[in-house]
Amino acid sequence: MVEKELGHSSVRTVLEQQIRNRRQTFEEFAEYAERFAREYSEPGTLSVRHLQRLVAGRRADGSPLGRVRPATARLLERIFGLSIDELLAPPVVAEQQAVTVHPLRVAVAVVLKGKDVLVVRRRGEVADGVPWQFPAGMIKPGVQPDAVAIRETLGETAVHCVARHGLGSRLHPATKVFCDYVLCDYVTGEATNVDVFENVDVAWVDKAVLTRLIPVDRIYPPILDALELSGEGACV
């Protein structure tokens, strides 16, 4: 019988929290991890029973988990963009973290699938007047930009991706929000407008014509470099 993990009221580890954020059961995530491992030639394996032990943070008898197999650890780290130590740690309550005032930070996901790049069309007025943008989401204190980029891409577009590397950080000139840019690779999923309250459309566009939707002078220069596009940018 499928366990209803999504109905649990408490979260024991960051790993469990990340799986819940994906709106997946343990069975669904184990299947996803298996596909991911095949796609990216990762030797790690993850059964549902093993996953249940990992998300609990302890063995069934209450003793510590011990060292996770390196191949399994690497597989989870590539999927979530977090270290295995971070994934198996208890989640930190935001209120307990708020000992200082943290500036608003946003992770921006530049997701590639071959020659295509994933974009969303924002609903209503936007700060810089450019409705087509990359998927993005707020970074809470203590959370890595890679993890937010992966999570928000899934939450906005139903696309599963993996973080490749960061593209840099800066204060956005139009929104005055501090942005962390993350280059990501497509894994699976059909692009769908999941977040209908924030977006009106989602699309894969050939990177060669991206500047027809977003003016080249509004694109952060390292993104242009990553997409092998010419020009100098300032926003997005």
Q: Where are the domains of the chain?
A: 5-87, 101-226
Residue predicted with more confidence, 67 or 147: 147
Q: Which of 61-65, 117-121, 148-152 has the lowest mean pLDDT?
A: 61-65
115 or 104: which leads in pLDDT: 115
Integer Cα distance of 84 and 14 in angstroms: 10
CA dihedral 126, 129, 134, 139 (to 10 degrees): -40
pLDDT of residue 127: 57
Q: Is the pLDDT of residue 115 over 80?
A: yes
Predicted confidence at residue 3, as pLDDT, reads 39
Bridge partner residues of 58 (DSSP): 64
Over 50: is that where the pLDDT of 232 sits? Answer: no
pLDDT digits (tens, 9 = 90+) for 180-222: 999 999 999 999 999 888 899 999 999 999 999 988 888 888 8
Q: How far is CA 55 from CA 18, 19, 113, 139, in A?
A: 10, 9, 31, 22
Phi-psi region of 97 (alpha: psi -120 to 50; beta: other; left: phi over 0): alpha
Instruction: Please write the tens of the pLDDT for every residue from 166-176.
Output: 988 888 777 77
The pLDDT value recorded for residue 79 is 81
Distance CA 217, CA 231 (A): 7
Fold observed for domain 101-226: Nucleoside Triphosphate Pyrophosphohydrolase (3.90.79)
pLDDT of residue 81: 66
For 21-53, write each residue's pLDDT tens digit. Answer: 777 899 998 998 888 888 778 888 899 998 998
Instruction: Over range 6-22, report the average pLDDT.
Output: 75
Q: Which pLDDT score is estimated for 60? A: 67
pLDDT of residue 98: 39
Write down the number of H helices and E strands in the chain.
8, 7
Question: What residue spans of the chain are helical by DSSP H?
Answer: 14-21, 26-39, 48-56, 70-80, 84-87, 94-97, 145-157, 221-226
Q: Which two tokens stand for residue 92?
A: 């930190």
**For 54-102, what is each residue's pLDDT tens digit?**
988 877 666 777 788 899 988 898 887 678 888 888 886 433 443 344 4
State residue 12 phi and psi, 5-degree precision. -90, -30
